[in-house]
Amino acid sequence: MEKRNSASLDARTRLFLGGACLGSVLAASALEILGIQSAIILLVILTRGLTHKWVRSMRLLWPTVAMVFVVVYLSFDTGQAMAAATKLVNLLTVSFIFFSSITPQEMGDALRKMHVPYRFSFILTTAMRYVPLIGQKTRNIMDAQQSRGIDLRFRPRNIKNIMALLVPLTVQSFMLAEQLGMAMEMRGFDREGRTLRCANRLQLIDYLVILFSFAVLGLFVGGQMGWIK
């Protein structure tokens, strides 16, 4: 069986750590706290060498962040608008870091070790595999259509050309679903007695990181609820 690197964290530990980070961002409401979280998150991005990938992944999400800022600004005030936009960016960035640090195989094995039903873990890991694949197919279709003179760049005047993207993408998505269904049937998806590819056990560092994650989450939640003064 495959063994993990002794210097890495178990996938279950990364799940707990990612969940605690997301919970801490959700629990924070003060703009100062959100700003500190942003600084820590950006430091992690820089130290892990994920800057280019993060900028590329966030490129299409900035309009959503701007829309959230405008809606909250019109409903409340500037401070709450900045806090809402910062929280959204933090949530998206933490999610990006988490999914960059765990593979679909590790995610599936971790969920099964936590006794999550196999069907649920299979749906989640399949989505993790197919979302990047669909993204790549979308880029390929856009390049192919643009080579034919059909402009599919994200501009208001190109809305009329959107069917040139949606129809091929829908067809390819159905083809992928059919291929997946055939592969599942051939490999006996419903059979019992599945075994894990990795047989890892939690080490001391994993327990320490899990305890630290819960402590940080409890600190943020307790401070928000007024339990800690």
Reduce the secondary structure of the chain to three states and give it as a string: CECCCCCCCCHHHHHHHHHHHHHHHHHCCCHHHHHHHHHHHHHHHHHCCCHHHHHHHHCCCHHHHHHHHHHHHHHCCHHHHHHHHHHHHHHHHHHHHHHHHCCHHHHHHHHHHCCCCHHHHHHHHHHHHHHHHHHHHHHHHHHHHHHCCCCCCCCHHHHHHCHHHHHHHHHHHHHHHHHHHHHHHHCCCCCCCCCCCECCCCCHHHHHHHHHHHHHHHHHHHHHHCCCC
Query: Does the pLDDT at position 6 exceed 50?
Result: no
Residue 152: per-residue pLDDT = 74
Tell me the mean pLDDT in the region 156-170. 80
Structure tokens belonging to residue 141: 């279709």
What is the per-residue pLDDT across 131-155, written as a single tens digit (0 to 9) for each? 778 878 888 888 888 888 887 776 7
Strand partners, 2: 198
Pair 72, 114: CB distance under 8 Å: no
Backbone φ and ψ for 2, nearest 5 degrees, come out as -75, 135
- Give CA torsion, residues 44, 48, 52, 56, to 10 deg: -60
Residue 223: per-residue pLDDT = 60
Residue 82: per-residue pLDDT = 92
What is the per-residue pLDDT across 36-66, written as a single tens digit (0 to 9) for each? 888 988 898 888 888 888 888 887 788 888 8
Domain ranges in the chain are 9-102+217-229, 106-188
Amino acid (one-letter) located at 212: F
Per-residue b or e along 74-102, where b marks 16 or more CB atoms closer than 10 Å to that residue's CB: eeeeeeebbbbbbbbbbebbbebbbbebb
Provide the residue count of the chain: 229
Strand partners, 198: 2
Residue 86: per-residue pLDDT = 92
What is the per-residue pLDDT across 173-224, written as a single tens digit (0 to 9) for each? 888 888 887 887 777 766 666 665 555 677 888 888 888 888 877 777 666 6
Residue 197: per-residue pLDDT = 59
Residue 60 has, within 13 A of its CA and on its CB side, a CA count of 6
